Every structure is written in structure tokens, then in C-alpha cells.
A and B are shown apart, each in its own frame.
Chain A
């Protein structure tokens, strides 16, 4: 019989106990393995040394404004899907140094600029959900463009190893199926896992993925038809279990941008706290601010980049005032950017359907419900024409 061998595009299966060996193997390959861990009654992304640190047996109940961690009897590592953190903090850190200015010379001094030291960590991300992978690919278009490329983002992105995990149990607020981003990852990963009762199916997505498995410490078999079938059943069931639907997302471009005076905006603004939680947990939000940080002598200045949010009151401040002084205008900006304007800017929706903005909104606003209400009764279409109804 021909020796089975690993090939990009094929799916193999491993016993669940092999997960530990995979983590060790990735660490030996020079990666910092990071993945989901339970902490503070929720799920965070943190360094992983062993499979035992993963959220084995956990799941969550999620609804607008509520996240409840549940411990069950099952032996699934990845039944619990997302927490408040996405993976964007690894490629686009909340705070990073851009460059340093050092004053040189006396009178009429000039400045010496040193770019920030690139630490370029190599992350192996274990447990990236298909929606989050789609979000990474959306942010790739934001931070790595033809005209320019963010050096920090690129170096971390090029060095990253991505292990996606397909979702069998949507979390309750998710709607990835509507957005076309899940519950199964189709491309863009190094390895993709589907969790079954005693096994993981592992789809090999790249040469790096193939290399990771090509180690004597990892025992694998070709995926049997039985297991492949079981996986397909789980996937089909997962699609049916989505907490929300958002049909025809592309139609939202006209439906939202043509409805900028809809009364629903004011209604939501009565509940929205403009707290910026949604933008923090969102895996695609990319706004950032830049500040010069210095001590009093002002001869060494660090230019720092940090996350910003369109909900911040002075986000839209200009010399003659604030162009978005009200919560209504800021909420409308966020929602129309994410679901409509993004198409014009980057060729796709900005939303991947992960549901975090719904779960983690302290006011319990269900943004899918808000969008559905606005599109249902179009007040005025773009260019003053009659609004388009879905």
C-alpha cells in the first residue's frame, strides 16, 4: 500500500490527544502559541503551553448585552466560540510605538528619527474562528495596500501561523452564515480544525501547515469517510443554529446610506451610551489615533499609535467645531461605515457576523435588529429617490 503523505488541500484526522503535540510542535518551530483561555468568567486570548489550558468543556450563552460562561460535561475544547477579544490586537496592537524623535543640535536644532524597533513576534494562533479569519483578511485590505503598507501589521501578519477551528455551536449572537464568512473556513488558514467527538479533522491549508504536521511527534491518519460525514453533519446543523439572519448584506449599501434621516437612528441613540465597546470588540474596526509622548525637556519624543473609535466625542473635532456632536450621528457613522460605506472603500462588507458587538454592548443593543428595522421602512433613498426595500 502506498505510504499516505501530507498534501496541501487534503484533510487528515488526529486523536484529540494529539492537540498537545501540535502545540509543542508549533512552539519548537519558533512560534509563540496563543489561543483562547478562560479568565475572569470569560474567554481571552493568551499564551498556550498545553491543550489543558484550552477551554475544555466550556460553552457560553450569549445575547444582547449578556455573556454567560457555562461549564458542561462534554469533552470539546472549542465548543465555546468567541469572547470579547478578537485577533486584531496581535496584528494591530492597541498601543504601539511608531517612531522616536531625538533632538539633535543646539539652536535651530533638527530631529533624528528612528523607526520603532520591530519586534516581529511569530504568533501561532490556535482557535481562530472562520469569522475571525475573514476579519483578518478584511484588515489585510486596510493595512496592506498597493500604495502603502503598515510595516508593523505586515511583519506580524507574514510571520503568523493560523489554525482555524470551525464552529459547531454558534454562540447565539452570531450570523456568519448571512455574511458568508462561516461557520466553516474555506481558505486563508495554515491548518483548519473541525472538532468531533474523539477526533479533530485537520485540513491542510499551506506549506507551513503541512510542515507543522510533518513531525514524528504527531500521529495522524487520512480522514475517513465516516469522520468527513460527521463533520459535514455538524456544519449543516451549525448553519441552522445561527442566532440571527441578515439577508442580502450587499443591499445595505443603498438601504442604509439612503436612509440617513430614518427615525430609528434617534431611537437607538436614546439607548446607546457612545461607550465604544462595540468598536473595541469588533475584529475589523481599524481607526487609530496618534499622539506625541514626551517628558518636559522635550528632546526625546515618542510618536505613539493607539486604537481610537468613531464613538469618541472628539473623533470628529475640526477647528470650527465637531462634525458629529451627537450620539445619534456617531452611532449612524459606525453602522453605516461597517455595513455600507466599507463596500465603497474596500470592496466588501466590514462585518463578519461574529456577534461580539451585540454580546458586549452594555446597553444590550442588537445591531442586526436595528439594521432590520431601518431597512424595513425606507424613509428616503439615495439621491432623494424612493428608498429600496429588501
Chain B
């Protein structure tokens, strides 16, 4: 991994552009760049939470296995989206879903334990990271709610009184 490549990649991430040089360096210290092929697995449900990922380019699918239905794709993370936010949230102990690349993808990988430690030591940086994670979780929650409401369902699908 080329350090220069890592640095310039980190600088393309919008929320990294807003943090101070000191904070940037701390995060860069636990960051790495990783490339995956299409269909390559990033992690599985139940895996230990080792890394937080930021998609730079490509597409990562979040999937959950349902017996009888197989792997159900519930979400895709697009460039600049976060994968594995639960690794930074204390209460979540293991991966809640699986992640697999749909397209050949490049990701920034942050060591989750390292990130949590930095956050404990440097609360200002910790707050910035948590604020960003809160936005991610809020956005996922809204998406999940709208998916759950099945807003495209139609009475002619056979539900409701007009079906």
C-alpha cells in the first residue's frame, strides 16, 4: 500500500476534509486502502468487528441470510458510504450482517479498535467520529423504515380492501 495513495484518497472523503490536520494524522495512522473483486466477501454476520470501511469506488452489498430465502440483499453502500458502522458503536458486539462486493471496489479501511481507542483519548475527535456515525445510522434507519413501509405496494397486489 502506497502511503501517498492512501493520503490522497483520504483527502477525497468529504468529512475528512473538515477535520484538523492533527486529527487527520491520527486517523491516517490507523487507515489502510483495500481493493476487492466483485463477489469478494468483506465480512460475514457474526464475524468480529475488526474494521470500519468507507467505500471509495464500487459497490458493496449488505446481506442477511434467511433460511429458505437465502442471502437477502437489503442495502448497497455506494461511494463515500460507510460499511460496518456497528464496529464503532459500543453496544454492538459482532457484525449484524454480511458485506460482499457487487462491483470491483476500493475501500478505505479503519482499524475499529484503534479508532475506538483514539476516540477515548481524544474526545474531540471521538465526538466528530460519533457524529458522523450517528448520521450514517440515521440515514440507514430512514432507508430501512421506507423499505419496511413498502411504499410501492399497491392494492392490486392482493392486500387491503381493494385487492
Q: How far apart sit A321 and B154, CA to CA, in the bound complex (Å)?
A: 9
What are the interface flags for B132-163 relative to A under an 8 Å C-beta threshold, 1 for contact and 0 otherwise?
Answer: 00000000000000000000001110001010
Residues of chain A contacted by B155 (CB below 8 angstroms): 319-321
Residues of chain B contacted by A321 (CB below 8 angstroms): 155, 160, 162
Chain A residue at smallest Cβ distance from B160: A321
Q: Would you list which residues of chain A between 276 and 296 have a CB under 8 Å from chain B?
A: none
Residues of chain B contacted by A320 (CB below 8 angstroms): 154-155
Residues of chain B contacted by A319 (CB below 8 angstroms): 154-156, 162
| A/B pair count, beta carbons within 8 Å | 9
Q: Would you list which residues of chain A between 308 and 328 have a CB under 8 Å from chain B?
A: 319-321
Residues of chain A contacted by B154 (CB below 8 angstroms): 319-320
What are the interface flags for A318-354 relative to B under an 8 Å C-beta threshold, 1 for contact and 0 otherwise?
Answer: 0111000000000000000000000000000000000
What are the interface flags for B68-87 relative to A under an 8 Å C-beta threshold, 1 for contact and 0 otherwise?
Answer: 00000000000000000000
Chain B residue at smallest Cβ distance from A317: B162
A346 CB to nearest B CB, Å:
33
Residues of chain A contacted by B160 (CB below 8 angstroms): 321
Chain A residue at smallest Cβ distance from B154: A320
A315 CB to nearest B CB, Å:
15
Q: How far apart sit A320 and B153, CA to CA, in the bound complex (Å)?
A: 8
Residues of chain A contacted by B162 (CB below 8 angstroms): 319, 321
Q: How far apart sit A10 and B4, CA to CA, in the bound complex (Å)?
A: 100
Q: How far apart sit A199 and B155, CA to CA, in the bound complex (Å)?
A: 66
Q: How far apart sit A320 and B156, CA to CA, in the bound complex (Å)?
A: 9
Q: How far apart sit A321 and B156, CA to CA, in the bound complex (Å)?
A: 11
Q: How far apart sit A319 and B156, CA to CA, in the bound complex (Å)?
A: 9
B23 CB to nearest A CB, Å:
39
Chain A residue at smallest Cβ distance from B156: A319
A313 CB to nearest B CB, Å:
11
B146 CB to nearest A CB, Å:
15
Q: How far apart sit A319 and B152, CA to CA, in the bound complex (Å)?
A: 12
A150 CB to nearest B CB, Å:
32
Q: Would you list which residues of chain A between 107 and 133 have a CB under 8 Å from chain B?
A: none
B151 CB to nearest A CB, Å:
10
Chain A residue at smallest Cβ distance from B151: A320
Q: How far apart sit A361 and B135, CA to CA, in the bound complex (Å)?
A: 53
Residues of chain A contacted by B156 (CB below 8 angstroms): 319
A247 CB to nearest B CB, Å:
44
A314 CB to nearest B CB, Å:
10
What are the interface flags for A371-386 relative to B under an 8 Å C-beta threshold, 1 for contact and 0 otherwise?
Answer: 0000000000000000
A324 CB to nearest B CB, Å:
15
Q: How far apart sit A321 and B155, CA to CA, in the bound complex (Å)?
A: 7
A325 CB to nearest B CB, Å:
10
Q: Would you list which residues of chain B between 110 and 139 have a CB under 8 Å from chain A?
A: none
B161 CB to nearest A CB, Å:
9
Q: How far apart sit A321 and B162, CA to CA, in the bound complex (Å)?
A: 8
B154 CB to nearest A CB, Å:
7
A330 CB to nearest B CB, Å:
17
Q: How far apart sit A320 and B151, CA to CA, in the bound complex (Å)?
A: 10
Q: How far apart sit A49 and B154, CA to CA, in the bound complex (Å)?
A: 59
Q: How far apart sit A319 and B154, CA to CA, in the bound complex (Å)?
A: 8
What are the interface flags for B84-98 relative to A under an 8 Å C-beta threshold, 1 for contact and 0 otherwise?
Answer: 000000000000000
A385 CB to nearest B CB, Å:
28
Q: How far apart sit A212 and B155, CA to CA, in the bound complex (Å)?
A: 61
Q: How far apart sit A321 and B153, CA to CA, in the bound complex (Å)?
A: 11
A321 CB to nearest B CB, Å:
7
Q: How far apart sit A290 and B154, CA to CA, in the bound complex (Å)?
A: 25
Q: How far apart sit A205 and B145, CA to CA, in the bound complex (Å)?
A: 66
A389 CB to nearest B CB, Å:
38
B158 CB to nearest A CB, Å:
14
9 A-B pairs whose Cβ atoms sit less than 8 Å apart in the complex: A319-B154, A319-B155, A319-B156, A319-B162, A320-B154, A320-B155, A321-B155, A321-B160, A321-B162
Binding site for A on B (CB under 8 A): 154-156, 160, 162
Binding site for B on A (CB under 8 A): 319-321
Pairs of residues from A and B, 7 with the lowest C-beta to C-beta distance, nearest first: A320-B155, A320-B154, A321-B155, A319-B155, A321-B160, A319-B154, A321-B162
> What would 6 more interface pairs be, CB under 8 Å, given A319-B156, A320-B154, A320-B155?
A319-B154, A319-B155, A319-B162, A321-B155, A321-B160, A321-B162
